[in-house]
């Protein structure tokens, strides 16, 4: 098993820090919906083999979708298409026990991709992304869109 890393995201006035055993930083971007029926969480890191744990996710949202974009630098400006590797996605209610959500093959999640997004329902407080054998990219960013009931 790889080493655990902190989720990386530049600090902003909308950031929150919290993960089960380490500190992570993410930017929380509420939707344009005034009722806040949907929020997005972004976090990023390098594509070295190992785990990256998301910040604490909001318990008021019951389902979500996860997507990943790969980049060639820490500025996350220009998306790239990796040529190999995989991102294994797991989730946890308590930050201690994780269950499988799915695997995203990096070579199918490149620029203009149409891969199937990871979906989840129920109490998810943390998401863990395990990078393995990624080539053709140096960084990644995960976007988690969470929805309240009825949205």
Query: Residue 54: how many CB atoms within 10 A of its CB?
Result: 24
The three-point CA angle 72-117-108 to 5° equals 45
State pLDDT tens for residues 31-81. 444 457 888 999 999 999 999 999 999 888 989 999 999 999 999 999 999
State pLDDT tens for residues 102-123. 999 999 998 988 889 999 999 9
Contacting residues for 111 by C-beta, under 8 A, at least 6 apart: 79, 80, 81
Among 69, 66, 71, smallest CA distance to 127 is for 66
CATH of domain 4-147: 2.60.120
Structure pTM? 0.77
SS3 106: helix
């Amino acid at each position: 098993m790889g080493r655990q890393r902190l989720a990386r995201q530049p600090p902003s006035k909308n950031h929150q820090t919290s993960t089960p055993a380490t500190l992570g930083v993410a930017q929380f971007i509420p939707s344009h919906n005034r009722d806040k029926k949907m929020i997005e969480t972004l976090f990023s890191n390098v594509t070295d083999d190992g785990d990256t744990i998301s910040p604490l996710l909001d318990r008021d949202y019951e389902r979500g979708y996860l997507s990943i974009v790969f980049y060639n630098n820490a500025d996350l400006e220009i998306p790239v298409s990796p040529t190999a590797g995989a991102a294994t996605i797991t989730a946890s209610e308590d930050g201690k026990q994780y269950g499988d959500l799915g695997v995203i093959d990096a070579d199918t999640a490149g620029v203009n991709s149409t891969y199937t997004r990871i979906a989840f329902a129920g109490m998810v407080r943390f998401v863990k992304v395990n990078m393995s054998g990624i080539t053709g990219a140096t960084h990644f960013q995960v976007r988690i869109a969470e929805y309240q009931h009825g949205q």
